[in-house]
Amino acid sequence: MADLTIEDTVYVTYIATTPEKVWAALTSSEFTRQYFFGRSVESDWKKGSPWTLQMPDGRIDVKGEVRESDPPRKLVVSWTVDWNEELRKLPEAVVSYEIEPIAEGVVRLTMTEAHPTPIPASLLEGGRRGWPMILSGLKSLLETGKPLAIPVPQPPKQD
């Protein structure tokens, strides 16, 4: 991690599953569409490859590059929000997922959204509100086979 990186948002959840299933849930659209506000991921998940997160209507929500890929233990991607001009101009964020088996049949998933340079607090709100919904949904999907039905949050106001 670069010296100037500030860890801004961390979310930890424990899931009754295997690391391989968590990896699949993070990297396959058939899973992400069910817990990531209907969005699809696309990449070959090799270090240096591009990745995208697409909205249900096909627009790009987030894009970036795969920085680290060590299935099924660690995935690090750069993260630039693409659908909004204000957000597009921000320095890219870095999102890391660490997947650790910690007990028989239990996996700890740690998501860290870090920012290479500090960004305004108001722009962190979306992630701080969104990650608990997304990762609660991922846990439910893996443990029960059924996604959560949480109303999709409205995007932050553009002034």
Interface residue list for another protein (CB under 8 A): 12-16, 102-106, 108, 132-133, 136-137, 139-140, 143-144, 146, 148-151
Q: Per the structure block, which two tokens stand in for 130?
A: 């969104």
Give min distance, CB of 46 to another protein, in A: 31
Provide the minimum distance between the beta carbon of 21 and another protein in the complex, in angstroms, as a whole number. 15
Residue 146 exposed, middle or buried by CB count within 10 Å (0-12, 13-18, 19+): exposed
The helix (run of H) or strand (run of E) holding residue 133 is helix 121-144
Q: How far is the CB of 114 from another protein (least distance, A)?
A: 15
Residue 2 CB, nearest approach to another protein (Å)? 20
Q: Which is nearer to another protein, 60 or 150 (CB)?
A: 150
Q: Cβ of residue 87: shortest distance to another protein, in angstroms?
A: 22
- CB-wise, 64 or 137, nearer to another protein? 137
Do β-strands 93-103 and 60-70 pair in parallel, antiparallel, or remain unpaired?
Answer: unpaired
DSSP letter string, 82-107: -SSHHHHTSPPEEEEEEEEEEETTEE
Whole-angstrom distance, CA of residue 143 vs CA of residue 16: 6
Q: Based on CB atoms, which residue is closest to another protein, 88 or 106?
A: 106
Minimum CB distance to another protein smaller for 28 or for 144 = 144
Bridge partners of 40, per DSSP, are 54
DSSP 145: S
Between 15 and 41, name the residue whose CB sits nearer to another protein.
15
